[in-house]
Structure 1
């Protein structure tokens, strides 16, 4: 007999909210903790997400397994597991050896499993288990809406970390605070168990026995519907950071929107979900049609559109899942398969896609998969209006698809320059056809694919057959020749990562951020004056190898590069010749620069150059006080540390100004404006380089005297760093990017 006490809905809602809040706060917290060991590449985040999804699946499987026992026994087992997992508190990073080159994809999951696996596992079981316990009371009603509360807690936990926790608390305090939340969760679980303790001694909960087990086909349907939004969330993250805007803040947004889609889809308010499901096919056409475009050019509009598409499609699919939900008797099976679908989508986007594809093809493939699974309500039933028979209507839809194929071909002709005309008009025509054929799924998905091909997709696919593009764990690299400009360029996504002049007379001349008037150009040109003919130089970040041509005979150069694929590109004389022409014998050390520099003998280098940014993605772990300390140890006492801080979205001068002040070092910045308007030197780029030294004499020798900031455009001018009042020094334990975020550029999407 089931207890007749009140259902205590508030208690179960609170327990689920707290558990989900903790679960998704620990994700960015642990990501922050491992920065000194992993860096911040997008694929590191995707690998971490895959680990979280796998642990979530384990937690849901555990909750499903517990269902075979009485509720009392479930409570005893679950609380015992809570106590065992508490041995991993406070949250910290496991002490395991760093990865070898190329082993990051396997090492990241191992580190995260060892660090938070048991804690994450037991907390992740909260959402389905508490819903099951709640439903044990016959007066409780439908438990599924509690999943909306679960994801609301997850959403709040995820966003509160960068907005509130990280800027105000060091990591040690964060870890202990999370442990206090864990203790609160244990007390809430005890209270929830007590609320259902009486009358719950039977082997099975008192549930309707006439609810049939969902068919295998229905279970597979759940699996696929759950897999697509999960994979799309990760592919959107990769797509944005690789080909649109390489800004780390965007890494959290897709996950947040993915979680919030559950809040809407599983709530009791059905109208918002219905409206979104009606809009989803249109949004998928308009934004998903850009899914094969590989020249986004840093447009914030495209970035925001991609995020909007993710949210709308995820909400529509999750709403469909809610519509297909089984009776409460099979609740844990439903959530188990949902979680398995999430892992399946994560495996495809985070693990298999980088191995299978040379570009982010997982993104357009998942967009097409969404088209195959979305509910497709007919917006304009023109076949009914015209009184067409079903067979005639299908033939008419096929004709419209054929017209769309012709329009896509015309777009390709114009996109590739083989014909003149308005690409946009043909794109609009395909879009309209897509709206008209929504009632026929095969036609709708075909038109969506044709729109992708027409809007830059043909170029993207064709590039895969040239051998010019390669993908690694850290990004997508493309080498392209521009004969009319006598240039060969290396792009990381759509970001210029290196450029070489192809004419023999000029191919050794440094380009882009590394020109003779850049901070690094001025410094390396003086290496012999500063440190003698045998100057020892460390370069962190290889790129195309441009800086190698500042090397002079007798100098000892060591280059540190995290990506073996980048080393292969720079060493291949058929691609770039900076290394082979200027420094063929320079030592190249593969691995994270911070870890590798820590292994160097003390006082080895006269000059250390840090140029490890990937477009605007900040390797935060390379700018903390501990990192600067590693560089200082590797340098000679009068050595020069040079750091590249050119960035569209973060003003990094205060970070280094605070560090220099704390150490008592001299610091200056060279803000090279780049070539003047109309100059022939279109291969040079504006740049900002910061020089730091422990000795004022060395700074005077390097700069010739620091000038006022209003003289920065002058040739060779070094000026003081811009400090920020109250700015706290970055450390491994405390660092926040919010104080240095350039909001006007984030909102306006200004490009360099």
Structure 2
């Protein structure tokens, strides 16, 4: 079949043909953001939730995305029709791996999971991910070729709309409605649709490369400085998106699925930035620097009483900053014939930003210092315009005058920072920090448009309103960071506290009461009553396991002759429990602590080797779903003796988890009782917390022995219509407290 370039261009003028390219790009991007969480859900039971594993998985996704963009860039050496033939052949070859699923390969003995996982993911979905990831830049180049030089960059906005749609569709619609096998077939159908749309796009391509772009003969080679600037402009929003997610979920408020919002806003920023018009860039050049001054420092202060307001501020700041930086990148875009190189540089910057925030920062910093550093980098890169003509006249274009004014600003800011922190002779009163911050911001408003002076004031604002306190904490050695978050140990009023971000993770009373269990583990709690009943239930040689070490509080229920083992995924928690708290030292000096994902560790634990297992592995309010599935409970039942007891902690501000446990108990023949413990006012003074524990056993008599010893236990009833979680189906949407208000779920 013969198609000339001119008919192709005429065809493209028809709305339905342009819509064809839009539909193809939308579909590909939608599929790309479905496959990542889908495969993660498939892999979780087999590879666990260790951060090294997931960091290596993230690197593989980034590498495949970079590879796809590099492949699209390489294809520019061929005629459009040849490009289409090569890409369609790749899509056909990748289709041999459909439907999506992990290959049958178990973790070999002695192999590091972080090394095995990349091979597993590459072998399972690598070609599919690679082929789909190349479509956004490739189809834009085809569009430019077929249209005789039309600007294709607006299509990238469609690409990110598709990505945003896939991001929201998975947790809100796909995961709640479909099991993993059905999800796999749904994705397969989508892949077939995407391939058909690409065939349609290929049919309107010209047979020669003469119509690639109307200005292709006039374009100049792109310099290394321009490429480096593209990379930097992509690096900062990508890193800031991940840093914002970490900062919000650890230092502000731990809300399930909050990570979706930063990523969604990051994707939407492309759609707003990659469009023509001078009004938006000019507005952002004045608005975004002011936002950085006012709210970059405010968010770092991280006041707990304003947690939700801070979360909102952080999301708005991320969005406007991303729009500004991506808008500047769009303004610096090359001609269409160099489009793929532009997107390759963007992918490199995005990958480096992700590596910095997700991999490097947790190793290098003991706090989320990447956040203020990226705010400073944003201040250095965002477009800036003077707020008024009077301010513009202050900053005379003469370099020497500008330098002198910048030095004056630096002196003023340094003085204000000194007064704000030390407040000698009580010059600024009780609100010295706030007064100094407002003064620095006022100075900063007069520097917007004069970048060196603006950077001085921005650094001063960040330092005075939260930065110096963060440095003080770092120098005091009170803070520890791992891939799971930031842990802070503090002493106050006769007690030592461990916080995970802003969430209390454990408390130890100091002095004569240092062995007293506190928080969720007090003697009146469900687990406290079970631990006290151990000698009666299983004799003096009871065998106890605990998933989640924390501060080691449960160790103070241990008795001579008993055998205890802890399962803990985070080595940092083990170090803190042994070095900064004395529960283990005083009550269980030589504990058995098994590092790694608890489910994987339990898979290698002997049958019937425990009498009691306490499950409390939740970090803040986040729930590792693979520890709450039917298959996980089957594993717990296997390692427990036939009359063993399983204690599950389900206290959670955002999720009603009792229906999950009740459905599994009913399915697997567990007998279950629930105790919601409300401490008295006097007990709260000793750091007793409200707690919600469920006790389960396959032996009804053993459960009755426990529940009859004290009042408060209630039978756990399954919620009608709730099917529970399995490795094939688990969604938190039905158990979010904003949706689920039934009595059985409270």
Match of 1:185 in 2: 194
Match of 1:506 in 2: 513
Deviates more, 1:199-208 or 1:542-551: 199-208
Match of 1:725 in 2: 720
Q: 2:365 aligns with which of 357, 373, 378?
A: 357
Asked if structure 2 preserves the Cα contact closer than 8 Å seen for 1:561 and 1:590, the reply is yes
Match of 2:60 in 1: 51
Match of 2:575 in 1: 568
1:326 aligns with 2:334: yes
Match of 1:684 in 2: 688
Q: 1:697 aligns with which of 694, 701, 705?
A: 701
Cα distance in 2 for partners of 1:350, 1:496 equals 23
More helix per residue:
2
Deviation at 1:48, TM superposition (A): 4.4
TM normalised by structure 2 equals 0.92
Structure 2 CA distance for partners of 1:418 and 1:352, relative to 1, 3 Å: farther
Deviation at 1:547, TM superposition (A): 0.5
Q: 2:497 aligns with which of 467, 489, 509?
A: 489
1:379-431 CA-to-partner distances (Å, cap 9, x unmatched) read 1344346797855565445434433333333333379x999511333322222
Cα distance in 1 for partners of 2:655, 2:478 equals 31
Deviates more, 1:721-730 or 1:659-668: 721-730
Asked if structure 2 preserves the Cα contact closer than 8 Å seen for 1:518 and 1:689, the reply is yes
Cα distance in 1 for partners of 2:161, 2:200 equals 21
Deviation at 1:104, TM superposition (A): 6.2
Match of 1:582 in 2: 587
Q: 1:673 aligns with which of 662, 678, 687?
A: 678
1:480-536 CA-to-partner distances (Å, cap 9, x unmatched) read 222xx1222222222222222221x21111112111111111111111111111111
Match of 1:128 in 2: 137
Match of 1:242 in 2: 250
Structure 2 CA distance for partners of 1:284 and 1:384, relative to 1, 3 Å: closer
1:443 aligns with 2:443: no
Cα distance in 1 for partners of 2:666, 2:58 equals 38
Structure 2 CA distance for partners of 1:273 and 1:638, relative to 1, 3 Å: farther
Match of 2:666 in 1: 661
For the residue of structure 1 that corresponds to 2:360, the secondary structure is: helix
Match of 1:225 in 2: 233
Cα distance in 2 for partners of 1:662, 1:43 equals 34
Cα distance in 1 for partners of 2:392, 2:313 equals 33
Asked if structure 2 preserves the Cα contact closer than 8 Å seen for 1:380 and 1:436, the reply is no
Deviation at 1:680, TM superposition (A): 6.7
Structure 2 CA distance for partners of 1:591 and 1:359, relative to 1, 3 Å: same
1:97-120 CA-to-partner distances (Å, cap 9, x unmatched) read 559999666555454334322111
Match of 1:737 in 2: 732
Asked if structure 2 preserves the Cα contact closer than 8 Å seen for 1:376 and 1:441, the reply is yes
1:367 aligns with 2:372: no
Asked if structure 2 preserves the Cα contact closer than 8 Å seen for 1:43 and 1:238, the reply is no
Matches within 5 A, 1:389-400: 395-400=404-409
Q: 2:634 aligns with which of 629, 633, 638?
A: 629
1:26-73 CA-to-partner distances (Å, cap 9, x unmatched) read 122122222324555788766544433322111111000000011122
Structure 2 CA distance for partners of 1:439 and 1:568, relative to 1, 3 Å: same
Deviation at 1:277, TM superposition (A): 4.4
Structure 2 CA distance for partners of 1:725 and 1:413, relative to 1, 3 Å: farther
Matches within 5 A, 1:29-428: 29-39=38-48, 48-95=57-104, 98=107, 109-139=118-148, 141-196=150-205, 198-200=206-208, 208-268=216-276, 271-272=279-280, 274-290=282-298, 292-293=300-301, 296=304, 299-384=307-392, 395-413=404-422, 421-422=430-431, 423-428=433-438
Cα distance in 1 for partners of 2:127, 2:396 equals 61
Cα distance in 1 for partners of 2:116, 2:381 equals 34
Asked if structure 2 preserves the Cα contact closer than 8 Å seen for 1:291 and 1:364, the reply is no
1:208-256 CA-to-partner distances (Å, cap 9, x unmatched) read 2111122221111111111111111111111122212223301222111
Asked if structure 2 preserves the Cα contact closer than 8 Å seen for 1:9 and 1:140, the reply is no
Alignment coverage as a number of residue pairs: 729
Deviation at 1:18, TM superposition (A): 0.7
Cα distance in 2 for partners of 1:311, 1:608 equals 45
Match of 1:651 in 2: 656
Cα distance in 2 for partners of 1:412, 1:620 equals 44
Structure 2 CA distance for partners of 1:163 and 1:527, relative to 1, 3 Å: same
Cα distance in 2 for partners of 1:45, 1:311 equals 26
Q: 1:555 aligns with which of 558, 562, 572?
A: 562
Deviates more, 1:109-118 or 1:723-732: 109-118
Cα distance in 1 for partners of 2:378, 2:388 equals 21
1:3 aligns with 2:10: no
TM normalised by structure 1 equals 0.91
Deviation at 1:603, TM superposition (A): 1.3
Matches within 5 A, 1:515-534: 515-534=522-541
Deviation at 1:140, TM superposition (A): 6.0
For the residue of structure 1 that corresponds to 2:475, the secondary structure is: coil
Match of 1:22 in 2: 31
Asked if structure 2 preserves the Cα contact closer than 8 Å seen for 1:289 and 1:455, the reply is yes
Asked if structure 1 preserves the Cα contact closer than 8 Å seen for 2:568 and 2:595, the reply is yes
Asked if structure 1 preserves the Cα contact closer than 8 Å seen for 2:549 and 2:568, the reply is yes
1:332-359 CA-to-partner distances (Å, cap 9, x unmatched) read 1111111111111112112221221122
1:266-321 CA-to-partner distances (Å, cap 9, x unmatched) read 13466445544432112222221145446657812211211111111111100111
Q: Where in structure 2 are there 5+ consecutive unaligned residues?
A: 742-746
Structure 2 CA distance for partners of 1:138 and 1:90, relative to 1, 3 Å: closer
Deviation at 1:663, TM superposition (A): 2.5
For the residue of structure 1 that corresponds to 2:544, the secondary structure is: strand
1:479 aligns with 2:489: yes
Asked if structure 1 preserves the Cα contact closer than 8 Å seen for 2:428 and 2:435, the reply is no
Match of 1:710 in 2: none
* RMSD between superposed Cα atoms in Å: 2.8
Deviation at 1:376, TM superposition (A): 1.2
Match of 2:463 in 1: 453
Q: Where in structure 1 are there 5+ consecutive unaligned residues?
A: 706-714, 747-752
Structure 2 CA distance for partners of 1:41 and 1:394, relative to 1, 3 Å: farther
